[in-house]
Amino acid sequence: MLRGQLCWVNLTDAKPPELGKIRPAIVISNSDQNQILPSIVVVPLSTRPGEIWPIRVGLDTAVSPKDSFAIVPGIRQISKTRLVKQGALLPAHLLGRLSKAVNDYLTD
């Protein structure tokens, strides 16, 4: 798994307000660590419209036929056993926006 890679993950045991079901997500953990560790860190995606910086970051149609939004508060570590399918890499400019949003969300 590479940083910025799209994947589908099974989040079915989530409880509100966590995002659940099988859904797309973007891997944001370090590519080197992703090769070693049994888990990865992802930001789940939703098609619920409207960018709200830095909580919901628009990814346009780069990852799906519909406009998608990375839901930054949904960031979570998951076991690689939750991976359902792997996809393409997010374009560098969008990964940069997502990285900045995560940083802005997690720092004062």
The answer on pLDDT for 18 being more than 80 is no
Give the number of other CB atoms < 10 A from CB of residue 67: 16
Listed in order, strand segments (DSSP E) in 60-105 are: 69-71, 76-79, 83-89
pLDDT tens, 40-63?
A: 999 999 888 788 888 999 987 666
Beta carbons of 44 and 23 less than 8 angstroms apart:
yes
Q: Give the fold, CATH level 3, of 5-106.
A: SH3 type barrels. (2.30.30)
Gap between the Cα atoms of 43 and 71, Å rounded:
6
Q: What is the pLDDT of residue 14?
A: 62
- What is the pLDDT, as a whole number, of residue 17? 59
**pLDDT for 63-86, tens place per residue?**
666 788 999 999 999 999 999 999
* Spans of all domains in the chain: 5-106
Can you give the pTM of this predicted structure?
0.89
